[in-house]
Structure 1
Amino acid sequence: MLSKKKILPPLDYLLAFEAAAKTGSFARASDELNISETAISRKVRLLEQHYNVPLFVRGNRSITLTQQGGTLLTSVERSMDILREASRDMFANHQANSINLAATNSVAALWLMPRLHKFNRSNARVKITLVSSDSDAECLSNEMDLSILRGEGDWPGYEAHMLFGETVFPVCSPRFLARDSNVTNLKSLPDLDLIEVTSSHVEWMTWKTWLGHNGISDAPLERAVAFNTYPLAIQAALDGLGVVLGWGHLVDHLLESGELVRPLGDQAVRTESGYYLLKNASHKGFPEKQIVENWLIEQSAQRKRYVGRVAGA
């Protein structure tokens, strides 16, 4: 007895047969299905071999169904109509859920945005609404399905998965490096144009703390210029305005493209913090949410691994 898998021929054989039978011509069937006449003829021949019966009587310029072909056509038409109706129902009734994804300004602009176009191409029916904010309260509001925040992994009521750690090092544009070679000397950094980020997050690393971890304390940073968001600070560095602290993973694509460089080479400071993917443990899951979560974890798995001096060590 044949298995269910062996009894059924490939669906494209049946589609070619149906089109040829209804149009009375392999040529017209090829126009209907937008494949070559040769492909139609081949698929019908393979279907005849599958059942070991002739389905058409072939003339010079026409084809006529055999008795077996007519019997098969009745069943195929009925089955295909059922499948087409089921497909119409799926398109009409399946309303894809929008995913509310919140992230810090830096992660949203520098880590997510360069990756979203590839995700959208592969997941056309999954819509991501991206909320960019440095307010933890906003990112963790009840409307958010997923959030990416900096911390140590402990958010009560949330499941946390670390996407990448925190490694910080100076970066600048090649133009700035060419203009001032002192940028390659650690001790000269306090006297250069440093780009700072002002934030309500006092735990975030600043030039003062980074230099302190590298043995330079209480140095006046008289030429520092400040911006209120990290993406703006990065743009300032790209424009050649000075040296900014670069967060590994957030600036990787700019280093790879050569738009930014690391003037001190591999010198870096690592912290015990990281950037975590969070989801409210009390919220129900749904397919689109799982798709986005899996994608973010896959992106994390492909990340570069950094080394550097551990802060406080």
Structure 2
Amino acid sequence: MKTQENGNKHKGYRRIIPSMTALLEFEAVARHNSFTLAARELGVTQAAVSKQVKQLEENLGTQLFQRLHRGIRLTSEGQALFAVISDSLQKIAAVFDRISEGSGEQELVLSTTATFSQLRVMPRLGNLRATLPQIQLRLATQMFTGDLRNHDVDLLVRYGNGRWEDGSAVLLFEEEIFPVCSPAWLARNTPPTSLHDLYTSDLLDADATSEGWMTWPTWFREQGHTPPKLRYSLRCHLYTDTIQAALHGHGVALGWGRMIDHLLASGELVRLTELTVRPREAYYVVIPHGRSATPAILALIDWLRDALPEAAR
């Protein structure tokens, strides 16, 4: 084996890897899961991309994609090749960025939902600059999380069970959910002392989404009660709007503790009851396949997990 490895080194990479162009075009096809989108990104024809990938498969002596009736899918060999190429290209791109910008900072692209970026990240940005000055953060905010292969991100925050096929998940923190309101609303209303009192309060709610956001009926059922048909003071599509309505004194919202800890610490929101729900799901950071868990990425994960909001400090 050692003799074979030394022989390969003397051959040079050009002998071992016949076409760098084919590797680049294969990476684009695998990332987009589409020959058409890859060709559009690369500025060439779909036929040219297909030819390069076909030649790569012939050189390797194995199939990298399964050609299905509608679309394509990576084979196990294709997945292995895509993982190492993506990782290598990411490292090369990072070095190019540092050299071209002449800066010691490293930009990391963090994909989150609007709720996480606005309620968890923004209140802590001052602390990020003080704690990790070498990291330049770029937020890629999405309405909902999607397939990581279709996004040029270094890490992504997801809420769920931690089992996803497009990356490696690292636990951030668990969550608890409880009723909150503003001091102004509390001053105008009698504090609820029972679940029945909560039924008849000025309830604020957000639509359930694929992320698993809990609504008031679900929260009440988790307390062992099935409420009558609830009458809401306001319902919103986005959870961030629900929290804004609570801040303005319009009613009682469900507080996701990890998202609103800065508002509780500042006194802008108050917790109404000790009753709480601890979901089975949790928040995770997902590192896409092909990305390495670099020291900078691990440092950012630690910061996302442990950083105190400005109000708490």
What is the aligned partner in structure 1 of residue 305 from structure 2?
A: 300
2:291 to 280, 283, 286: 283
1:152 paired residue number? 161
CA contact (8 A) 1:171 1:261 kept: yes
SS of the residue corresponding to residue 283 of structure 2 reads: strand
Question: Is contact 1:182–1:189 with CA below 8 Å preserved after alignment?
Answer: no
How far off its partner does 1:125 sit? 4.5
Q: Report whether the alignment pairs 1:132 with 2:141.
A: yes
The equivalent of 1:215 in structure 2 is 224
CA contact (8 A) 2:233 2:250 kept: no
Contact persistence 1:140–1:147 (CA under 8 A) = no
After superposition, residues 61-80 of structure 1 pair within 5 angstroms as none
SS across alignment from 1:155: coil
The TM-score normalised by the length of structure 1 is 0.61
CA distance, structure 2, for counterparts of residue 302 and residue 121 of structure 1? 11
Q: 1:230 aligns with which of 227, 239, 251?
A: 239
Asked if the contact 1:131/1:139 (under 8 Å) is kept, the reply is no
Distance apart, 1:245 and its partner CA: 0.4
Letter in 1 for 2:285: L
1:252-291 matches, within 5 Å, as 252-264=261-273, 266-284=274-292, 290-291=295-296
**Paired letter, 2:232:** R
1:97 deviation in Å?
4.1
Contact 2:176/2:256 (CA < 8 Å) preserved in 1? Answer: yes
* Cα shift readout 1:280-299 (whole Å, capped 9, x = no counterpart): 1322455xxx3243133244
The alignment partner of 2:279 has SS state of strand
Instruction: Give the direction of change, closer, same or farther, for the CA distance of 1:149–1:140 in structure 2 (3 Å limit).
Output: farther
Aligned twin of 2:113: 104
Could you tell me whether the CA contact under 8 Å between 1:194 and 1:223 is conserved in 2?
yes
State the superposition RMSD in angstroms: 2.7
Aligned to 1:211, the other structure's residue is in SS state helix
The answer for the alignment partner of 2:256 in structure 1 is 247
Question: How far has the Cα of 1:91 moved from its partner?
Answer: 9.7
On the 8 A contact 1:167/1:271 being kept in 2, the answer is yes
**1:200-241 deviation line (CA, Å, top 9, x unaligned):** 327321100001111331411123411121111111101001
Q: Quick check: 2:166–2:289 contact (8 Å CA) kept in 1?
A: yes
1:186 aligns with 2:195: yes
SS in 2 for 1:137: coil
Per-residue CA distance 1:7-30 (angstroms, 9 max, x = gap): xxxxxxxxxxxxxxxxxxxxxxxx
For residues 101 and 140 of structure 1, what CA distance do their matches in structure 2 show? 14
**Kindly tell me: are residues 94 and 219 of structure 1, through their superposed partners in 2, closer, same or farther at Cα, counting changes over 3 Å?**
same
Distance change (3 Å), C-alpha of 1:298 and 1:118: closer
After TM superposition, the runs of 4+ consecutive aligned structure 1 residues lying more than 6 A away are: 89-92
CA distance in 2, matches of 1:211, 1:254: 23
- 2:178 aligns with 169
Once the two structures are TM-superposed, the CA of residue 198 in structure 1 deviates from its matched residue by 1.3
**Letter paired with 2:142:** S
Distance 1:229 1:153 in 2: 23
Measure, in 2, the Cα distance between the counterparts of 1:128 and 1:146: 11
Aligned partners of 1:104 and 1:134 also within 8 Å: yes
State the secondary structure of the residue aligned to 1:204: coil
Match of 1:24? none
Matched position secondary structure for 2:305: helix
Report the alpha carbon displacement of residue 141 of structure 1 after superposing the two structures with TM.
Answer: 3.6
Number of positions where the alignment pairs a residue of Structure 1 with one of Structure 2: 212
Residue 117 of structure 1 corresponds to 126
In structure 1, the gaps of 5 or more residues are 1-88, 305-313
Distance in 1 between the 2:302 and 2:276 partners? 25
The alignment partner of 1:161 has SS state of strand
Q: Which has the larger radius of gyration?
A: 1
CA contact (8 A) 2:113 2:141 kept: yes
* TM-score (normalised: structure 2): 0.61
